[in-house]
Amino acid sequence: MRTIDRVKKKFIEDGFEGVLDRRPTRRVYETKSDGDVEAKLVALCCSEPPKGFAKWSLRLLADKMVELEYVESISHVTVRSVLKKTNLSLGK
């Protein structure tokens, strides 16, 4: 059922207030990075980039974190979030 159809049905059944009441989300996401992982990522970011690269990229950092077995897996988006949270940037 399309969203507009659900909203229309809810409005007919429960009125305006019924449409405004939203069900709570059921999604629970497990955090992939804790303080220890974040500290290792920051230290890695401040280190020299691999040979052949002028600076670290988000993907290089993510790959190196897995290679060093700091984490089982981590995406470049998570790396970006951690660096943004700690106010670090990659060479800017």
Tokens standing for residue 32: 């992939």
| pLDDT band of 18, cuts 50, 70, 90 | confident
Look at residue 55 and give its three-state secondary structure.
Answer: coil
- 5 vs 16, more confident: 5
Q: What does the chain come to in residues?
A: 92
Question: Whole-angstrom Cα distance, residue 58 to residue 62?
Answer: 6
pLDDT digits (tens, 9 = 90+) for 42-74: 999 999 999 999 999 999 999 999 999 999 999
Residue closest to 38 by CA, chosen among 86, 6, 77:
86
